[in-house]
Amino acid sequence: MHGKRGAAAAVLAMVMAVGVTGCDGSTSGTGAADPAPVAPRAEGTGQASVAPRPAGTGPLTKAVVKADIDASVADAGTPPADPDWAGMMERDLGKGCLVVYKGYGTKDVPVGVPQYEALVRELKERGWEQSGERMERRAEDPAQTVIDVLTVLEQRGWRVTTEYNRGIDGEVKAMAADVACAKKAGVFKNPMGG
């Protein structure tokens, strides 16, 4: 478990070492038109705000992946994105193959495993399929409290690494990598067995 966790953390660190613009510097990654905005889930409808998929079977555009993550975050009730963290990724780490999200719990509204699981469930509702086993680490306390969780999801040329970390008030991340772009840019050589 610790070996898999260490490998996943190394991949996560490599994925974090990339920016949030497309390989060509655009925000869509492929130059394709952005999809229509995704409306948040209507209260009490039970219907997810699933973004429309472009026709065909080729890779998703960066705009569609961003819409999936943004809508999943909103529908799961996870904290809003930290713009400073996203800005740092964009400004300092550049290579352009990522869409990133990181939200922090607060003392008044901590984040736990249920919010993380809701985010993963929302992504799955949008066609993201789990790749490999969910990995989690627990404390050695009597309750075996979950310290962190990592789940990798894939869809049409993209890989999303989702992570929960208990920390002080909890935090949730989703980092999507355009696999072809990341390989071309040398971001990762052997990502999660891929």
Which amino acid is located at 180 in the chain?
A: A
CA-wise closest residue to 174 among 106, 73, 75: 73
pLDDT tens by residue, 127-179: 999 999 999 999 999 989 999 999 999 999 999 999 999 999 999 999 898 88
Give the pLDDT band (50/70/90) at residue 185.
confident
- Residue 192 and residue 108 in contact, taking contact as beta carbons nearer than 8 Å: no
CA–CA–CA angle 12, 25, 14 (5° rounding): 15
Residue 48: alpha-carbon gap to chain centroid: 17
Residue 54: alpha-carbon gap to chain centroid: 20
pLDDT tens by residue, 24-83: 333 333 333 333 333 344 444 445 455 556 566 778 888 999 999 999 999 999 999 998
Please state, in angstroms and rounded to a whole number, the distance separating the CA atoms of residues 49 and 12.
Answer: 28
Q: What is the pTM of this model?
A: 0.70
pLDDT (0 to 100) of residue 174: 94
